[in-house]
Structure 1
Amino acid sequence: MLSTYVDKQDSSTQVDTYGGTVKIETAEQGAPGRVTEDRIRVLPNAVVVLDGVTSRTRPPDRNGGWYATQLADELARLINDTDPLADLLAQAITTLVARHDLVPGDSPSSTAAIVRWTEDTIDALVLCDTPVVAFGRTTHVLEDTRLEDLRPDPDILRWKNKPGGYWVAEAEPVAAHQALTASWPRAEIEKVIVATDGVSCGVSEYGLFTWEELARIPLGEALDRIREAERGDSEHKRWPRFKTHDDQAIVRLCT
């Protein structure tokens, strides 16, 4: 089955990799009563977090969860130690377009966040609203706000994958090279968080906790606190939004 309803799930694993062991914690759950379109993929030297979006213009049988699964599979096949992450994302999108005859502007899409580590560095890529936050002596927030900046526009889809608009993984490989990227010395980074907007809203919109607090608290607790806050604002008055709940997915790396 390509996508399933996800009750809250927490997991923790350790990967023996470059420069020692990386502890990887994940937590996810779908919005109540719906199939989650978020995807987490843990690889030997990287994590991929995607938030799928179903096409609104002509909803296909292939929804955002299907696209996110396909993109995660392709990125898992492609990710290596050296190639720029934007190039790898562009190659993955190109492959999906050819394999599935995807049409720009009328296909499912996905945000994309990738964190890759080597013995010396931690590399990150963010495309659309799935931020990466790295913690060391200071907090480094890699966040793409272009979609959020356009929220007041009632016809926001006209800006998708357009200059001056917002960019998302869909059917145009050029979008990958509009992603934001960063690289940090691994020795300077203790933890990294990757979160879809169903979790990052707890920091950026609801103010329930800071990034630094999110780096410490149990991930399942963070998901619960966000859900509780949203239930208390079911009419969307305190925090204007399109839907009461969103899918949630978060990864925390301890390097």
Structure 2
Amino acid sequence: MRILAASEPSKADKLNEDWFSASPNVVVVLDGATARTDTGCVHGVSWYAAQLGASLSAQASDASMTLQAALAAAIEHVANQHQECDLTSPGTPSAAVAVLRRNQSHLEYLVLGDVGIILDADSDLTVIIDDRVDKTAQLERRAADAYPIGSAEKAEALIRMKHAELAARNAPGGFWVAAADPATVDHALIGKVAVDSINRSIVLTDGAARLVRMFNEASWNSMLELLESQGPSEVLRRVRQLELSDPVGFKWPRNKQSDDATIVYIASLV
């Protein structure tokens, strides 16, 4: 088995709000949600993602626990770590989560939020991405996309979009992420596949997935080949190059020029 990983903050002087861990049996990748409003928390998103990721990695290493139970236990653990914060705030720190766990016969997966898992069985790909967040606040998203990145109008539109998103977060008909309530795990995408059917896999945040999902500069198959030949740092380099080529978002409308980006590539599973 080979495991290769890379993670970068959106800018060199910013905290990385992504988090990952990777072992031969458990891969965990988190994407902390950008905070544009008051969170009621003194710790911040990066702290939340790191605390949740560490706890989830430990819980998921117990093969007797389901991945949903492991995530629920981790959410509860982190909530108990900062009870002095207002965990009822609509903007309380949250994160999208993906877990890939290997046992002797199966790969189990869990996805909650827009972190993605790509499973390759002889180029027959299974793509697991929870895109429910993209279906929320659509009017506000389109309004924000009309303004150049860095403008005052863009910043104001993003605040309006964030409020609309938060109204749909962890609510029926909206989208679901890890925050302070363990019950959100009931809405995760879960499944398993035979371990000997999968040759390679990718777990990545939406910042790294931009190469495929936003910029259309690669397919999932060509990303796999790029990862195999040049590694995850090259994927992130190409993402950054494309972001810099369109700094204000005219070609590819988006919320910010660059996003935190994390990718874990696993090859030779058996």
Q: Same fold (TM over 0.5)?
A: yes
Helix, strand or coil: the match of 2:81?
helix
2:43 pairs with 57, 62, 79, which one?
Answer: 62
Matched, 1:24 2:33: no
Residue identity (%): 31
Q: Any conservation in 2 of the 1:28–1:249 contact (CA below 8 Å)?
A: yes
Q: Which moved more, 1:44-53 or 1:76-85?
A: 76-85
**Aligned length, in residue pairs:** 234
Counterparts of 1:199 and 1:28 in 2: how far apart (Å)?
Answer: 9
- Go from structure 1 to structure 2 and tell me whether the alpha carbon gap of 1:153 and 1:168 turns closer, same or farther (over 3 Å shift): farther
Deviates more, 1:145-154 or 1:175-184: 145-154
CA contact (8 A) 1:53 1:63 kept: no
Task: Tell me which amino acid in the other structure corresponds to 2:81.
Answer: R
1:63 deviates by: 1.2
The runs of at least 4 aligned residues of structure 1 exceeding 4 Å deviation read none
State the one-letter code of the partner of 1:63. Answer: G
Shift of 1:98: 2.3
Aligned to 2:246: 233
Contact 2:67/2:110 (<8 A) preserved: yes
Deviates more, 1:158-167 or 1:95-104: 95-104
- Tell which deviates more after alignment, 81-90 or 240-249: 81-90
Q: 1:54 to 1:227 in 2, by over 3 A?
A: closer
1:92 is aligned, of 74, 89, 104, to 74
Alpha-carbon distance in 2 for matches of 1:159, 1:143: 18
Q: Of Structure 1 and Structure 2, which has the larger fraction of its residues in helix?
A: 2
Distance 1:55 1:205, change over 3 A: closer
- 2:65 is the alignment partner of 1:83: yes
Q: Identify which of 35, 38, 41 aligns with 2:18.
A: 38
- Quote the Cα distance in structure 2 between the aligned partners of 1:220 and 1:77: 27
* Inter-CA distance 151–202: structure 2 relative to 1 (3 Å threshold): farther
Measure, in 2, the Cα distance between the counterparts of 1:107 and 1:128: 16
Give the gaps of 5 or more residues in structure 2.
141-163
Partner of 1:16: none
Deviations 1:109-145 (A, max 9, x none): 1110100001111111111110100000310001101
Q: Distance in 2 between matches of 1:150 and 1:192?
A: 29
Q: 1:111 to 1:88 in 2, by over 3 A?
A: same
- Give CA deviations for 1:231-252 in whole Å, capped at 9, x if unaligned: 1111111111110000110000
Deviation at 1:151, TM superposition (A): 4.6
Paired amino acid for 2:69:
D
The structural deviation recorded for 1:192 is: 0.8
Q: In 1, Cα distance between the equivalents of 2:247 and 2:137?
A: 20
Aligned-residue CA RMSD (Å)? 1.5
Separation in 1, partners of 2:111, 2:128: 7
1:71-118 CA-to-partner distances (Å, cap 9, x unmatched) read: 111112211223221111011111222232251324211110100001
Matches within 5 A, 1:1-255: 22-32=1-11, 33-59=13-39, 60-79=41-60, 80-101=62-83, 103-104=87-88, 105-137=90-122, 138-154=124-140, 155-217=164-226, 218=230, 219-254=232-267, 255=269
**Structure with higher RCO (Cα < 8 A, 6+ apart):** 2
Q: Which residue of 1 aligns with 2:155?
A: none
In 1, the alpha carbon distance for the partners of 2:54 and 2:199 equals: 28
Alpha-carbon distance in structure 2 between the residues aligned to 1:54 and 1:228: 22
CA distance in 1, matches of 2:8, 2:36: 23
Q: Which has the higher strand share?
A: 1
Give the secondary structure class of the aligned counterpart of 1:215.
helix
CA contact (8 A) 2:17 2:31 kept: yes
Q: Where does residue 149 of structure 2 map in the other structure?
A: none
Q: 1:145 is aligned with what amino acid? A: D
Aligned to 2:147: none
Report if aligned partners of 1:43, 1:76 keep a CA contact under 8 Å in 2.
no
**Which AA in structure 1 matches 2:130?**
D
For 1:184 and 1:213, locate their aligned partners in 2 and report how far apart those are by CA, in whole Å: 22
